[in-house]
Amino acid sequence: MGCSSSSTKTRRSETSLRAALIIQNWYRGYKARLKARQHYALTIFQSIEYADEQGQMQLSTFFSFMLENYTHIHKEELELRNQSLESQQDMRDRRDYVDLIDVPDSYNGPRLQFPLTCTDIDLLLEAFKEQQILHAHYVLEVLFETKKVLKQMPNFTHIQTSPSKEVTICGDLHGKLDDLFLIFYKNGLPSERNPYVFNGDFVDRGRNSIEILMILCVSFLVYPNDLHLNRGNHEDFMMNLRYGFTKEILHKYKLHGKRILQILEELYAWLPIGTIVDNEILVIHGGISETTDLNLLHRVERNKMKSVLIPPTETNRDHDTDWKHNKVGVTFNAHGRIKTNGSPIEHLTKHEWEQIIDILWSDPRGKNGCFPNTGRGGGCYFGPDVTSKILNKYQLKMLIRSHECKPEGYEICHDGKVVTIFSASNYYEEGSNRGAYIKLCSGTTPRFFQYQVTKATCFQPLRQRVHTMENSAIKILRERVISRKSDLIRAFQLQDHRKSGKLSVSQWAFCMENILGLNLPWRSLSSNLVNIDQNGNVEYMSSFHNIHIEKPVQEAHSTLVETLYRYRSDLEIIFNAIDTDHSGLISMEEFRAMWKLFSSHYNVLIDDSQVNKLANIMDLNKDGSIDFNEFLKAFYVVHRYEDLMKPDVTNLG
C-alpha cells in the first residue's frame, strides 16, 4: 500500500515536471518570436531612417550643382539664404539680438540671472517640467555666452577621472526631454563632483530640442570644466531643416526664431568634435575610418565646418576674374566658389572635411575593412581591424560613440573596444528601445545604466507593445512603397511574363529591394504587405491596397504626384534656401528654374510641362508666387485605418 502511494506520487511529480517543461519551452518560444517580431520592426525603422539620411547627404552634391548652374538661368534674382552659405559677418552685435528684446512684466516663465549659477539650472528644470517656454531674450543670451566660451575650447576636450570623480557619458537625446530628466533623477545633476559628456545629437526628431539645448548650455556655463558637449551630425542647421528642430524654433519663437537659428548655426560650428578620457578612451559621435588622423583633427579649424551639405568646392585660381555678381553682393564663379561682400569664404580642405564627416557619420560593422557607409550616404563602415589600427596608433584603449539606436540602449563590439551608447528611449515608437548611459572611472570597467521612460503603453503586455511597434513600422514602410508605386508596377510587370497579376514571393521580394533599396527581409515581411494565394504566389497589386497619395488636383499625373511626395523634404530644403525674404513664397520663375535643375541632377524623368501646369493650378490667387510649404503639404498619404493589422494576426516574425 505504501509502495503504491509512493509510486503514484512519483508519477504525478514526473507529469507535473513534464508539464512545467512544456510550458517553459512554449513560453521561451513565444518570447523568442516576440523578440524576432520586435527586431524586424526595428529593422524597418532603422532602414528608413538611414535611407532618409542618405537622401540628406545627397543634397550636398545638388547644392554644389546648383551653385554652378543656377546663376546661368536666373542670375539677376538669386540670393542664397544666409544660412545656406556663410554668415555675412562674423557675428551681429550682441545688442541687436539680446538688449533690444525686452522681457515684459507679464512674462511668467523662468528669469535667468547672469552670471549663471546652479540655481538657474534648477529654475530651468522646474519650468520645463511645467512646460513653460523660456523667453527669447534669455535663449539668445545663453547662446551668445555659450558660443563665447566654446570659442576658447580645443577641438578635443581632455578630462581625467578618479575613484571619487567618475564621468557619465550620454548618447543621442534627440529632443526627448523626459529622458534627460530621468538621467538627472537617477544619476544626479551636473556638478564639479558629477561631470558629464553629452555626445552629440541633442536636437531634432523630438518635441523638446530647444529645452534640452538650454539645459545643457546653462549647465555648461555654470560648470564649463565639468559638463562637456560634443558635436553630433544633427548639430547642423541643414539637418535641422529636415528633422524638425528648425520648425520647433519657428513655432515656439515666432517673433525671434530666425535670430535664434542664425546664432545656432555659428554655435554648432564651435562645438568640440570629441572628448578624450584619461588619455585612453576616445569619445566621438560617429566613428572612425582607416584614414582617421587625430593629429590633424586636433588642429583643424572646426568652426569652418558649417554643414555636411556644404562641402568644399575645388576652385581654379586662374579664373578668379570670372566672377558672376548678383544684386546683393553674393558672387559665384563657374566652379561654384562663393564670395560674400568681396571676401572669399574660408573652407576646410576636402581632406579635412572628409575627416570630420567620418567621425560624425561612421558606423562599426563586424566585417574587417573600411568601406563606404551606403546606408547613411556619409562616413564609412569600419571593422575590428580598423578599430585596432587607430586605437593602437594613438595609444588608446577604447572608442565610445553614439549615432545608432540600440534595443538595450548600448552595444559592445569589436572585442570590447567599441561601445555604442544611445540615451533616447522609445526612439522610434513607445517601447521600441531602452536608453542608457555609461559611468567611467580610471582603472575600472565601464558601468552601464539602462532606463526607459514609462508611459501608459509601457504597462501593457509585451505582445501589445510589439503590436504597436509593428503597426507603426508597417505604416511608414507602406508610405515608402506607395511613393514608388509606378516604378514598382513596372518592375512587377517585367517579372510577370504570363500577365497573371501574380509573382512568386522571391520575385516580389527582388522587385521591392531593387526599387526601394532598403535592405529589408522582404520575404519575411510579405505576409504583412501583400495578399498571398493558396499556392504561395503574391498578388502584387495588393502592395498598394488601403493606401494612396492624396492629389491636390485631380489633373495631376500619378508619377508626378509620387515624385513630389518622395522628394518633398529635399524640395522643402531647396526652396527654403532660395526664399530670399523668408516669406515662404517663391516666384513661378524661381520654381520652374529650380525644378529644372532638380530634375536634371536627380534624373527625374517627368515632363516639365506637367510641373508647370500643376504649379499654375497651385498659384491660387494668381499673383505669380507659390507658397511652397503649402504646396508640398498638399501631397500626403492617406491610410485606411480600419484595415490596419489586428493584434492577433500581426506577425513580422
> Which DSSP string corresponds to 382-442?
E-HHHHHHHHHHTT--EEEE--S--TTSEEEETTTTEEEEB--TTSSSTTS--EEEEEE-T
Q: Taking a C-beta distance cutoff of 8 angstroms, is the pair 359, 341 a contact?
A: no
pLDDT score recorded for residue 84: 43
- Is residue 483 scored above 80 in pLDDT? yes
Q: Taking a C-beta distance cutoff of 8 angstroms, is the pair 549, 562 a contact?
A: yes
| DSSP letters for 93-152 | -HIIIIITS---TT--S----SSP-HHHHHHHHHHHHTT----HHHHHHHHHHHHHHHTT
Q: Taking a C-beta distance cutoff of 8 angstroms, is the pair 249, 210 a contact?
A: yes
The grid coordinates of residue 651 equal: 506577425
Per-residue CA distances from 576 to 28, 125, 595 (Å): 53, 34, 14
**Maximum average pLDDT range among 66-80, 594-608, 622-636:** 594-608
Q: Kindly list the structural domains of the chain, giving each domain's residue range(s) and its CATH number in brackets, ordered by start.
A: 89-146+155-312+348-449 (3.60.21.10), 469-542 (1.10.238.10), 556-642 (1.10.238.10)
Of 402-411, 572-581, 591-600, minimum mean pLDDT range: 572-581
Cβ-count burial of 93 within 10 angstroms (0-12 exposed, 13-18 middle, 19+ buried)? exposed
pLDDT above 90 coverage of the chain, percent:
57
Tell me, rounded to whole angstroms, the distance of Cα 111 from its chain centroid.
32
Q: 3-state DSSP call for residue 478?
A: helix
pLDDT score recorded for residue 54: 86
**Maximum average pLDDT range among 17-31, 532-546, 629-643:** 532-546
234 is catalytic: yes
pLDDT score recorded for residue 652: 60
What's at 77, amino acid-wise? Answer: E
At 346, the pLDDT band (50, 70, 90 cuts) reads low
What does pTM read for this prediction?
A: 0.85
- Rounded to a whole number, what is the largest CA-CA distance in the chain? 114
- Averaged pLDDT for residues 134-159: 96
Q: 3-state DSSP call for residue 608?
A: helix
Interstrand relation of 274-277 and 156-159 (parallel, antiparallel or unpaired):
parallel
Cβ partners under 8 Å of residue 647, min gap 6: 463, 464, 467
- Averaged pLDDT for residues 497-519: 95
At 563, the pLDDT band (50, 70, 90 cuts) reads confident
- Averaged pLDDT for residues 329-334: 32
Q: Taking a C-beta distance cutoff of 8 angstroms, is the pair 386, 288 a contact?
A: yes
Single out the residue of 269, 279, 281, 354 nearest to residue 306, CA to CA: 269
End-to-end CA distance of the chain: 53
Cβ partners under 8 Å of residue 86, min gap 6: 306, 338, 340, 345
The grid coordinates of residue 420 equal: 555604442
Backbone dihedral region of 340: left (phi > 0), alpha (psi from -120 to 50 degrees) or beta?
A: beta
At 641, the pLDDT band (50, 70, 90 cuts) reads low
The grid coordinates of residue 366 equal: 563586424
Residue 115's CB is within 10 A of a number of other CB atoms, namely 9
Distance CA 500, CA 508 (A): 13
**532 DSSP β-pair partners:** 538
What does the pLDDT look like over 437-476, one tens digit per residue? Answer: 999 999 899 999 999 998 654 556 777 878 888 999 999 9
Cβ partners under 8 Å of residue 418, min gap 6: 287, 364, 387, 398, 399, 400, 401, 412
- Is residue 310 scored above 90 in pLDDT? no
Backbone dihedral region of 379: left (phi > 0), alpha (psi from -120 to 50 degrees) or beta?
A: left
The grid coordinates of residue 579 equal: 526664399
> In 273-414, which ranges are E strands?
274-277, 281-283, 323-325, 330-333, 338-340, 343-344, 363-364, 370-372, 380-382, 398-401, 410-413
- Is residue 413 scored above 60 in pLDDT? yes
Single out the residue of 318, 308, 298, 263 nearest to residue 144, CA to CA: 263
Q: Taking a C-beta distance cutoff of 8 angstroms, is the pair 268, 237 a contact?
A: yes
> In 115-246, which ranges are E strands?
156-159, 167-170, 196-198, 227-229
Cβ partners under 8 Å of residue 513, min gap 6: 519, 520, 522
Cβ partners under 8 Å of residue 361, min gap 6: 57, 233, 286, 287, 308, 373, 376, 378, 379, 403
At 1, the pLDDT band (50, 70, 90 cuts) reads low
Element (H or E) spanning 638, and its range?
strand 636-639
Distance CA 215, CA 118 (A): 11
55 or 86, which is more confident: 55
Q: 3-state DSSP call for residue 277?
A: strand
The grid coordinates of residue 496 equal: 510577370
- Across all residues in the chain, what is the average pLDDT? 84
The grid coordinates of residue 216 equal: 545643457
Distance CA 308, CA 57 (A): 7
Counting other chains too, the contacts that 338-347 makes at CB distance below 8 Å and 24 or more residues apart are 338/67, 338/85, 338/86, 340/85, 340/86, 340/88, 341/88, 341/89, 345/85, 345/86, 346/301, 346/304, 347/304, 347/312, 347/313
Count CA within 13 A, CB hemisphere, residue 78. Answer: 24
What does the pLDDT look like over 154-176, one tens digit per residue? Answer: 999 999 999 999 999 999 999 99
Of 233-242, 396-405, 440-449, 639-648, minimum mean pLDDT range: 639-648
Of 46-50, 59-63, 222-226, 414-418, minimum mean pLDDT range: 59-63
pLDDT score recorded for residue 552: 67
Helix axes 462-482, 2-74, angle to 10 degrees: 30
Burial letters 269-301, b for 16+ CB under 10 A, else e: bbbbbbbbbbeebbbbbbbbbeebbbeebeebe
Q: 3-state DSSP call for residue 373?
A: coil
Backbone dihedral region of 573: left (phi > 0), alpha (psi from -120 to 50 degrees) or beta?
A: alpha
pLDDT score recorded for residue 327: 27
Cβ partners under 8 Å of residue 650, min gap 6: 37, 467, 470, 471, 528
The grid coordinates of residue 559 equal: 508619377
pLDDT above 70 coverage of the chain, percent:
84
- Is residue 486 scored above 50 in pLDDT? yes
What does the pLDDT look like over 51-78, one tens digit per residue? Answer: 888 888 877 778 777 766 655 444 433 3
Given the residues 74, 137, 228, 234, select the one marked as catalytic: 234
Of 133-147, 492-506, 541-555, minimum mean pLDDT range: 541-555
